[in-house]
Amino acid sequence: MQERTQPVNENEVVLKLEDVEFRRNRRVIITDVNLTVRAGERWVLFGPNGIGKSTAVGMLATRTYPSEGRVFILGHQLGKYDVFKLRTRIGLASADLGRQFPPFEDPLDAVVTGLTAVTGRWQDTYTEAEYARARQLLRDFRVGYLEGKQMWRLSEGERTRVLIARALMGDPELLIMDEPTTGLDLGGREQVMRTLSRIGREDSRRAVVLVTHRLEEIPAGFDRIAIMGRKPVSVEDATGDASEGGAGSHEHADGIDAAGNPSAGTIVYSGPLEGGLTDERLSDLFGMSIEVERSHGRWSAYAV
């Protein structure tokens, strides 16, 4: 893969979220989410566990619909277009998707079925050329030896690389990778990081969104970040008993609503990576003093 040299056309919007809210069992999970991703951009969706990143990914991958607001994917509004047509233009690699394959599925079939965005090969057929491409992708990610094996026998690192190969099978216009290094040991993580860095640096008009909660797992080539944090809750909203206009009615509680639940997640920053990953911003996000460092092209953070 060659490093990117083509300029991004700012009019080529691949993803757009407008005032998006998602509720489950009357609880607001995410709210006031706004984000625009253009062709050729490499984005990181970053935030603590439980903040709503997977909920957002579900919408980006057409698996979930917003309760409020609008989501546009590849020029079509989610809920007003055939999602099965959209899914063939989106590459998705996630642990949740990996669990949907039949346990005895051949990893080669798991990759080639990325063309039709189905999990499990049944009556669909693929050409020799398509299988040849699937084999090449497995070789590219150094797991060509897995052909003929079964998905349930794969290690976490092997499964991750198979899922990334599958996500790239259809040469998607949008590539989404949700926590691709979860559960990997150091060696497995670094192998996957090399793969992700290649994707980040490739000369492609493809838009890429990588979801993670660890700075150490931000690959080279990704230069934009959307940070998710808790929506501030006023004391009045949190307690339900502040007098109208009284002192403290505009103060903020520690992200806890009147029912004692954490407040909804939202995007608190979107823009260049360097502008988002600051000591002050991450200290506020995690509620402790954080120091951010960058070395050898990789990020890390420490409590101080």
Q: What is the pTM of this model?
A: 0.85
pLDDT, tens only, 258-273 = 666 778 999 999 999 9
Residue 239 predicted with pLDDT over 60:
no
- Residue boundaries of the structural domains of the chain: 13-89+172-186+202-303, 95-171
Residue 55 predicted with pLDDT over 90:
yes
Domain covering 13-89+172-186+202-303 in this structure, CATH number: 3.40.50.300
pLDDT of residue 5: 41
CB 14 within 8 A of CB 174: yes
pLDDT of residue 4: 45
More confident call, 233 vs 148:
148
Instruction: Over range 131-137, report the average pLDDT.
Output: 96
Pairing status of strand 207-212 against strand 42-46? parallel
Report which secondary-structure segment, H or E, holds 238: helix 235-239
pLDDT of residue 243: 39
pLDDT, tens only, 159-175 = 989 999 999 999 999 99
Q: Please, which pLDDT band fits residue 157 given cuts at 50, 70 and 90?
A: confident
Sequence-distant (≥ 6) Cβ neighbours of residue 188 within 8 angstroms: 155, 156, 157, 160, 181
Residue 247 predicted with pLDDT over 70:
no
pLDDT of residue 259: 61
Please give the order of strands across the beta sheet that includes 174-178.
Answer: 76-77, 68-73, 13-24, 27-38, 265-272, 224-230, 42-46, 207-212, 174-178, 90-94
Please identify which residue in the block is written with the tokens 């926590």.
Answer: 179
